[in-house]
Amino acid sequence: MMILLLDKNHPLIEEQLSAKGFTFEEDFTSTYEEVLEKISDFEGVIIRSRIPLDENFLRHAKHLKFIARVGAGMENINVEVAKELGISLINSPEGNRDAVAEQVLGMILLLTNRLIISSEEVKKGIWKREENRGEELLGKTFGIIGYGNMGKAVAKRLSGFSTKTIFYDILPNLSDEFATQVSLEELQKNADFISLHLPIDKSTHYIINEDFISKMQKNFYIINTARGKNIDTEALANALKSGKIKGAAFDVLEFEKASFENIEIENMDLDFLLNSEKVLITPHIAGWTIESKEKLAQVIVDKILLKYS
């Protein structure tokens, strides 16, 4: 089986699959149009996010049997057309769930204990203790929206902090030893924290908006390591200004490029976030650890071999 690699990934993908008889072409620089011209030569494609695999692309891929995304989200692929054409879709959320969960916990602790703010103040010779009094997680209610691989990994780690962890998910009967499933209304009633772990589609686009925020009964912290367009940036900025949202931590932004490489537009509300001491922002690295790079690749290899060896 001939596989096209469109993004750089851990070398174990080529090493292990080559040993099983798969052949490869690496192409990390060609444009969408250039890849389109040759995609019919391949039976498999392994990607991250560089090139969109839209309907036009997929209908040109006459011999494509599978698309493997080294990561969790599949929004860069026209999933419906892929299914129509009988193209198998493979992803690897198991590979970076631990990395995401650890970043979520790190972000929470940085926010609630004002660690970055107070550290920067001390470096400037400013010594404030009362102003930097933190909040403990013990006894708080932590709300997770989306209880898949990432959400479950976060809940597992929160168990060590003795929080009450609840979650909302569209699938039923997912409660486990680490978290209890509740309605969205109950989550909005009780949560002191919200962490998003969702794909992006019509139902989750702007799931956090002005209406959602107004229904939160407590002032709360919010963490988003899922997709930027899960949150309406204008509503978020307004809630931070009013104090309804006490602090926010984001690894993703509404105005990221589809390839996740950088921010693509200027926006007044985004400028507010970038300059607010209540906001922590990282460059889409929550699943981006030394360990997860290898684990993501290994999951992809294992799934390909399970299906095609």
pLDDT at site 259? 61
Residues 87 and 290: their CA atoms lie apart, in Å, by 31
Q: Which of 50, 97, 197, 284 is catalytic?
A: 284
pLDDT at site 267? 87
pLDDT at site 30? 95
Q: Which residues contact 108 (CB under 8 A, 6 or more apart)?
A: 137, 193, 221, 223, 249
pLDDT above 80 (res 258)? no
pTM beyond 0.85 = yes
Q: Which of 177, 256, 291, 294 is catalytic?
A: 256
- pLDDT band (50, 70, 90) for residue 243: very high
Rounded mean pLDDT, 271-279: 94
Rounded mean pLDDT, 231-253: 97
- Residue 207 DSSP SS3: coil
Q: Which of 97, 114, 197, 227 is catalytic?
A: 227
Rounded mean pLDDT, 12-30: 96
pLDDT digits (tens, 9 = 90+) for 128-167: 999 999 999 999 999 999 999 999 999 999 999 999 999 9
pLDDT digits (tens, 9 = 90+) for 85-116: 999 999 999 999 999 999 999 999 999 999 99
Query: How, if at all, do strands 180-181 and 164-168 pair?
Result: parallel
Ordered by where they begin, the domains of the chain are 2-91 (3.40.50.720), 97-281 (3.40.50.720)
pLDDT digits (tens, 9 = 90+) for 162-184: 999 999 999 999 999 999 999 99
256 carries an active-site annotation: yes
- pLDDT band (50, 70, 90) for residue 260: low
pLDDT over 90 percentage in the chain: 94
Place of tokens 């949202």: 245
Ramachandran quadrant class, 205 (left: phi over 0; alpha: psi -120 to 50; beta: rest):
beta
284 carries an active-site annotation: yes
pLDDT at site 29? 94
pLDDT at site 43? 97
Question: What's the whole-number average pLDDT of the chain?
Answer: 95
pLDDT above 90 (res 73)? no
Cα angle value 172/178/184 (rounded, 5°): 45
pLDDT above 90 (res 262)? no
pLDDT above 90 (res 309)? no
Strands (E), the chain: 2-5, 23-26, 44-47, 66-69, 88-90, 141-145, 164-168, 180-181, 193-196, 220-224, 245-250, 279-281
Q: Taking a C-beta distance cutoff of 8 angstroms, is the pair 221, 248 a contact?
A: yes
